[in-house]
Amino acid sequence: DATLSGGQKQRLCFARALVRKPRLLLLDEATGEVDMETEAHILEGIHHLVSRQAATVVSITHRLHTTRAADQILVLQDGVIVESGKYKQLVGAGKVFAKMLRQSSVKQ
């Protein structure tokens, strides 16, 4: 009887979702349990899904670097949208997103 790690379970769920070729994919901390290499593969799969099939991906993440390729980022604070835009815009604005990004860089 084999048991799967958290990361293996996460990759399996992601693969199952991609096989179904969804038009809408909701991801909640999709890379939270995986290493950086696996995270890169998952992000590549998401990019492939979006570019090949007119799919919309809504991703909830605390790993802010995973949002670099997003068309639109919504920054929530206390349940309220306080900023929106593309990665470079939000970093350049120097507000909430940029501050969160700096704080996450310090923790790593």
The answer on 2 and 43 residing in a single domain is yes
Residues 56 and 76 in one domain: no
pLDDT one-digit tens code per residue, 2-35: 788 777 787 788 788 878 888 888 888 877 777 8
Question: 61, 77, 93 — which closes off a domain?
Answer: 61
pTM: predicted TM-score of the whole model, two decimal places: 0.75
37 token code pair = 């290499």
Containing domain of residue 71, as a range? 66-108
Same domain, 23 and 52: yes
Residues 42 and 75 in one domain: no
**Least confident window among 43-47, 49-53, 66-70:** 49-53
- Indicate whether 56 and 70 sit together in one domain: no
Residues 37 and 17 in one domain: yes
| pLDDT tens-digit readout, 52-99 | 777 888 888 888 888 988 899 999 999 999 999 999 999 999 999 999
Statement to judge: residues 76 and 97 lie in one domain: yes
User: Are 27 and 60 within 8 A, CB to CB?
Assistant: yes
